[in-house]
Each structure stands twice: as C-alpha cells, then as structure tokens.
Structure 1
Amino acid sequence: MSFPFSSNHCQVQSFFSDSTQTRQLGNLFSSRSFCHQKPAMASSSAGNPPPISTISSLPKRFEFSPDSPPKISLSTDQYKHCSEALHFFKEKLRTPERIAQEFACLQANRITPSQMARICKVALDGVNVNKNRYLDVVPFDQNRVVLNPCKDYRPSARGYINASFITTSSSDNISQFIATQGPLPHTYEDFWEMIIQHHCPVIVMLTRLVDNYKTVKCGNYFQAEDGPRDFGNISIVTKWIKNSDTSLLLRNLKVGYKEEFSCKLCAPSDENKGSGCTGTAEEHPMNVLHIQYPEWPDHGVPNDTIAVREIFKRVYHVPPSLGPIVVHCSAGIGRTGTYCTIHNTVQRILFGDMSALDIAKTVAIFRSQRIGMVQTMDQYIFCYVAIVDELEDLISEMNS
C-alpha cells in the first residue's frame, strides 16, 4: 500500500532550541479546544501496570529466535474481522481530508502548560529534572512507571523514571506497553532496573544513537558485544545479534543482577541446598529481545512499512502475560506512539475488537497516558498505511 506523504513533515520544535522549561512548554502546547472533549486521564495508579490477571505471576522464560517469525494463521473469525477492517481503512484512505481533520482535532485538544504543571509534579521536581531528555516530554503522575527500589534513595525522587504505562485494554490477549525516552547515560541503570522489575521481555528502539545532524538522540545503553556490561548492580550479556533483511538489528540479551549471573544453577536441587538459590524464574537473568530500527527518521516516517510490520510480527508471538513491551525513540512519543498505535490496532482486530477501527480514539487514549503520542500528520497517516499493509498481508497469506 502506498500513500503520498508530504515532503514537509509537521515537526514539533520544542525538543531543540528553547533553554527554559516555561518556553519549552509554551512552544509545545496549544490551549485551543474543539472537536472532541479532552480524553480522561488513564486510571492506572502510578507505578502499577494496567490490571492484567496474569501479570503478577512469576514470569516464564521465553526463548527468542533469530529466524524469521512464524506466519500468523487466521481463524475464520479473524479472517472476517481483518477483511472488514481492511475495507474500512481503504475507504478511509480514499478521503485523506477526513484523516487530516481527525489529526487536527487531536492537536486542538493538547493539554496546556498549566495543566501539565499540575499533573506532572514528580517529573518536574528539582531532584528529577535532569533525568528527562526533554523537559516538555515527561510522564503524568498517575500512570508513570515507578522504580521500587530505586538507586536514587531521596524521598522526593519517588522512584522516578521518564516512562509511562500505555494501554487500551485489560484483556490478557492484548500487549501492554511502556513508552519511554531514549535513556540518558545517568539513567541507564534506572532503565534496566525497570526492565527487571516489570518483567519486560521486548525492547523496541525506533531511533539511531546520533542523527544525521550529529544530534544525540539516545544513549548507548544496550551494546554488550565484548562481554558482560555492568550498570551498577545490573549486568547485560549479548547472546546473539542478527541484522534482518528489513534493516532491523536484533539482539538477544541476558539481563539480571550481578549475583544472578554468578549462580550456575538453573533449578532447585541437592547441589544448591543452603546456597539461598531456589532456582525460581525471578532469580536468574531474563531473556530480553532488543529490536532496533535505526532508519526511522525523527518526526518523520519510513519509506515503507515493511520493517515496522516485521517488528509487529516478531512481538505478536510474545505472550502478553510475560510483561509490557518497552517502546522508545528519543522523546518516547512520536515514533513510539506511532508503533504502539499500529501494533495495538492490528492486534485488537485479530481478537475481534472492532472498536480498534477508531484510530483517532486510540491515539486520544494514548495521549491521555503520555503527552503527544503520534506527533505529526505524516505519522498519523502512516498508522493507517501500515495497518492496511499488514491486513492485506494477513489476508493474502490466508488466501494462498
């Protein structure tokens, strides 16, 4: 599926120039309000992922393969749902002015600087300000990810990390997300602590470390090709690396506390009696799949949807019960919000939730959980195009 993207992307400039917090916030938000009411804020409490019945159980080990992901076989009902959705979205793409109006309404309902100051108090506290890559992209207090314990022991830090729980459904079948910024050097340990504490099996990285203008977009928190790499009391080890045909860079990482790497026992036995090791899943390094897509430009869209859809195909087969999928770009809203929208929409359609056809509502819900999710018109249109391409793929594979 192709669609003519404009050459001038609708860029939000707030990340780059202004030096003070007030000017940054003022440049990003509009106080205009029309079209729809502002979406209600997410109801999940700070530090707690959305309620999923299986999320609190011990995480099961999941082995990742560098091979191509298995095809998604559709049931009769899934084929019907995909066909209906494909027809709907194709019709929508024939009237791009309707899509433009949807995005205009979303933009008109952005929160104001004064609202943000009220609902992002922890992020903007003096002890946490330097943990934010951009002062105008911070998590809301009530659905932020909380680290407990946290290396920053100061009470006012309150386990802060610039990361937000993102969801549209409490269904066990639908992936939940953590949307976060590209880690800063002094937040690497916090990032990996989040991965361990919330049992995150997959990290989707949608940015380069440095862009074509030599601007640092993300810190190098993940490369560990030359042996173990330590972040405080946390170690990561690379098990394998693969470059996919679609320009994705795949890494299978072992992540855990240092003492877990020193334990060679995998299960309770006579050998480990008295050692303190019980062999439970929480006491050994996690398997984490790190997927990097470096060719997605900041504020822009890829030239095609193939790589984005390969990410979806790989992540689709990871049981949502393992834990939330971590998605980040640089700020953790534009490319991040776009991928989350594509993944969430296709997945919900496959499970028969046809309310997923309302992409504007999905983005509005995501924006009620993290500011500015899906930043530009081009990214919003790209959601439609990628979803159509994936539905066509699923249906054509079924027909063949």
Structure 2
Amino acid sequence: MTSSETPTTSNVETEYLEINSKNAWPMLYQYTRNECSHFEYTYDESTKPQNRSLNRYRDVWPYDHTRIVLKKGPCDYINANIVRMERAQRQYILTQGPLPNTISHFWLMVWEQNSKAIIMLNKVIEKNQVKCHQYWPLDGSSDHTMNLTDVDLKVEYISKTESSDYTICTLRLTDTESQKSRDILHFHYTTWPDFGVPRSPAAFLRFLADVRQSGALDQNVGPPIVHCSAGIGRSGTFCLVDTCLVLIEENGLNSVNVREVLIEMRQSRMGLIQTPDQLRFSYAAIIVGSKQLPLNNNVDNSEIGNAQNDIYSFNYTTPEVTEVVEQPPLPPPRGESLTRSMMSDSTPGPITDNENSGNKPPDKPLPCEPSAGIDSNSTGSSNHVGEQNASSGDASTKRSKSDGDNSFQTNSPPSSPDSKNELRRRRMEKKDRIDAQVREMKRRQKQSEDWQKLKRSLFSPLSLGLGAAIVGGSVLAYYNMQN
C-alpha cells in the first residue's frame, strides 16, 4: 500500500490486513463468541412441547425478548427474531427456512409485519439435503397460486428477473378475507454455499445494491424477512455488512467497529455468523463496499486495485457429505457447540428438557468451523425424523419419544453375551466421548492463549513506541534540568 492510499485506508481495512497476515480469523471469531457467552436471554417459548416441531434445528432458538409473535391463528410462535440497529436506522427479521408445517406461519408473518421483501440466501436443496421447503409458487408450475386457507392468505407468482448469482421474483400476497393485496419482492441469492461465503464481495454487493434500491430496507415499510437455512450464518452476514455500510456512509470510514456491531446483533438473535470465513468475508465486503458508496449494481473490485484483489477473494470448498447412520426424532443440531458448552460440561450425560427452568442460551453458540456431517431439516411432523450431525460428540447417543416426552434411551441390564458386548461397546463409546471432550477443552484453551498472544503482538508496537517516547522524554527533561 502506497503512502498516497493511507488517508483513505479505514480502521476496518487496517484491522483486516493485520488479522489476515497472521491468519488469526479463527481466534478473532472465537474471541467474539466468548464475548457473547455471558448473555442470559431466555428462549422458553421455543422449547414448549407444542412448538418444538416448528424449529428446523434443535439448537437454534429465538430469544423470547425479540421473537416475532403471530397475531392470527391458533399458534403465535415462529422461529424468528426482530433485529433492530438503531444507530443505522435498520431493522431486519431473521428467521429459519420454512418447514412444510410452518409455511402458513411464514407468510402470515410477512403480512402482519408489512414486509416489502423476502431475502433468501440459501438454495432449497444443498449437499443433497432439503434445507428449506419450497414455500413460494414457481413460474414453471401448472398453478401459479399457493392457497393458505388456515391463515386466509394466497400467494401468486407474477414475474421474475434473473442474473448470474441471484433472481428477483415478484409475488402477490392476498388476504382472502379482506381481498387486500400486496406485491412482495423475493430476492433469492443462489450461489452462496452453506457454511461458506461468496467467491468475492463484488457479486454480493451487487445483490445488496439491488435490495437497497428496491426500497425494501427503508423505514417507511416493514422490516425485510431475511433467511437462510437456520437464519443465523448467511443471514447474519448479510445484515452485518449492510448495517456497517450504512454507518460508514453516515459517519465516515473510521466510525465502525465490526466486532462490536456483530455482538450487538447477537443480543437479538443467537449465533449470528457461523464460521471464521463468514466473519472474514463480512470485513472484506464492508471494505470493498465502503470504497464505492453509495452502492449500485455495478459494484466492482477494480477500485481497490489489482494488487489487492486476491486479498478479498475466497476459494471456499463446501464440506463433503458423510453418510448418516442415526436418525433421532428431534430436529438436527445446527452445530455441536450450540447445544452445550464442553467447557462447563466435561462429562457426557443427557440433555435435559428446560421447559420450566428459565432457559438460557448455550455458552458457546457457534461451531468454529463447518461440521463434517449433514445438517438436515425436519418436517416438524411426529412421523418424520431429522438427520443427526455426524461430528457431534454425542453422535452415538440416541433420543426416543415416549408418551410425548423426549428422553434418552435406557435399556435393561445385560442378560446375555450379546448384551454384555453391547454394554462394553457403549462404555468404550462413552470413554471416546470423554476423550474427545477433553481434547476439545484443550483446543479451546490453546485457542484462547493464542488469541491473547495475538492481542499482545497486535498492540506491542504501539506499547513499545509509547514506552520509548516516555523514557526519551524523561531523559530529555532531566538533561534540561541539569543544564
């Protein structure tokens, strides 16, 4: 970077380049998660028996204090939170990809919240798994209308425009009781991999520019509905980038602390941004976008200079799908560490139900890296089961439904050689789980120590320079006194 570029280099860019040079994104990401571990917000509504089947993942729940409450129909619950960023005059509704049994709830939320747009950041099928139900009518279908009689709504396909990375559909939402209609814009980003990031910020910023120019983010309409599969990873990235660019546009390049903005957002919905790569991409998109404000759909990386293009490009490879051998009756976990904190739970045991115990969010709400297994959806029906995350430390533990209760399976004492072998096998599995937890604890401890070292290395030049200045000043003062 030349001296002539220094005045336009923001604090965000300086921080990005420093962290990138040290490959410290996992440590920064872990540090951010640790900052959120003290949150004590409850999510009691999500764990009530009648609402459990309405959650796509069994460890991604909406906080009670910001959850969207439906006004019509027999159920007021939906896995969605309102995220208000007052400084940027922005608000978003972040939610999971609809399940077959929550499509009506989803569209009722769109109607009641007076939303102008839906921002969809995932595909319906990813890694050979259904990550979101087809909740809107398609142009190629024989019937362009979807009737939701239980909430007295109707959705009609009107038109569609396509680009290389996303499509924009116009859908007409009608209240069949009052016959009032609204046109809803459906922005669908189609090239963003699960647990991953776009290849470069340019296409994403063009997408964000189109969303902005539609008026969907304006204050005179309801908040946009933003979702991916779980409504925390890609959805959190979208909202973080948009909010930071608004703050930069209003207050200048050096007005934003990205990590603080993310922590503020996480106070409204748990686990926003799921991987170090997504955090790094957020920084990169903010930097590139800040150089081209106000945004338009001709955003290009060329303005940051060809020498830096590689710094802001990503070559992300999605994890391979592994075979799933267990299928518990509950929706699958989004990430192992969303269900419990290994640091506080060093011995394996049942995950107890917390319906009446004042639920608190998990201590460590995000996995540090993509799970090796499959995060599948649940249909929400009692006859359908989700697929278990193959990387979970409790992969061999089974849950069973008994009298409508979710509890861990228990077996009678062994009475045959086969049952003795089974008992021995389970003991070995228990030992393996404990060993895995100990390794994880050590890894996290080392990660914390590495982060402390990183902080010291980041600030040591400043500290040394300040110390040298103080010592030099003292010597000079003493010399002047003597003469």
TM-score bin, normalised by smaller chain: 0.5 to 0.7
Provide, for residues 186-243 of structure 1, a one-character-per-residue CA deviation record: whole Å limited to 9, x for no partner: 100000000010111111101010113x111001001243322112211111221011
Which residue among 57, 71, 85 is the counterpart of 1:168? 85
* Partner SS, residue 187 of structure 2: strand
Which residue among 169, 174, 178 is the counterpart of 1:251? 169
Report what 1:327 is aligned to.
Answer: 226
Q: Is the alpha carbon distance of 1:335 and 1:231 closer, same or farther for their aligned partners in structure 2, counting shifts above 3 Å?
A: same
The within-5 A match list for 1:289-304 is: 289-304=185-200
- Aligned partner of 2:103: which letter? Y
Q: Decide whether the 8 Å contact of 2:12 with 2:258 is kept in 1.
A: no
Which residue among 214, 220, 224 is the counterpart of 2:134? 220
* Partner SS, residue 128 of structure 1: helix
Distance in 1 between the 2:184 and 2:291 partners? 30
Provide, for residues 331-360 of structure 1, a one-character-per-residue CA deviation record: whole Å limited to 9, x for no partner: 000001011100111112222276851110
Provide, for residues 157-207 of structure 1, a one-character-per-residue CA deviation record: whole Å limited to 9, x for no partner: xx1100001122166xx3210000000011000000000101111111010
- Aligned partner of 1:215: which letter? Q
Q: Decide whether the 8 Å contact of 1:151 with 1:190 is kept in 2.
A: no
Provide, for residues 241-275 of structure 1, a one-character-per-residue CA deviation record: whole Å limited to 9, x for no partner: 0112x3201101111212454xxxxxxxxxxxxxx
The TM-score, its normalising length taken from structure 2, stands at 0.55
* Partner SS, residue 46 of structure 2: coil
The within-5 A match list for 1:98-177 is: 100-111=26-37, 119-152=42-75, 159-169=76-86, 174-177=89-92
The TM-score, its normalising length taken from structure 1, stands at 0.65
Q: Decide whether the 8 Å contact of 2:249 with 2:290 is kept in 1.
A: no
Q: Is the alpha carbon distance of 1:124 and 1:88 closer, same or farther for their aligned partners in structure 2, counting shifts above 3 Å?
A: same
Q: Decide whether the 8 Å contact of 1:356 with 1:362 is kept in 2.
A: no
Which residue among 138, 159, 163 is the counterpart of 1:240? 159
* Overall identity of the aligned pairs, in %: 27
Provide, for residues 93-113 of structure 1, a one-character-per-residue CA deviation record: whole Å limited to 9, x for no partner: 22014655432211223448x
Distance in 2 between the 1:353 and 1:231 partners? 46
The within-5 A match list for 1:181-220 is: 181-212=96-127, 214-220=128-134
Provide, for residues 347-395 of structure 1, a one-character-per-residue CA deviation record: whole Å limited to 9, x for no partner: 1222227685111011101111111101110000000111112122338
Q: Decide whether the 8 Å contact of 1:248 with 1:307 is kept in 2.
A: no
Provide, for residues 122-149 of structure 1, a one-character-per-residue CA deviation record: whole Å limited to 9, x for no partner: 0111110000000100100111000012
- Aligned partner of 1:123: which letter? S
Q: Is the alpha carbon distance of 1:103 and 1:240 closer, same or farther for their aligned partners in structure 2, counting shifts above 3 Å?
A: same
Q: Decide whether the 8 Å contact of 1:178 with 1:325 is kept in 2.
A: yes
Q: Decide whether the 8 Å contact of 2:11 with 2:254 is kept in 1.
A: no
Distance in 2 between the 1:125 and 1:85 partners? 52
Q: Is the alpha carbon distance of 1:238 and 1:198 closer, same or farther for their aligned partners in structure 2, counting shifts above 3 Å?
A: same
Root mean square deviation, CA, Å: 2.5
Task: Structure 1: give runs of 5+ residues left out of the alignment.
Answer: 1-82, 153-158, 262-283
Greater Rg over alpha carbons, structure: 2
Q: What's the offset of the Cα at 1:313?
A: 0.8
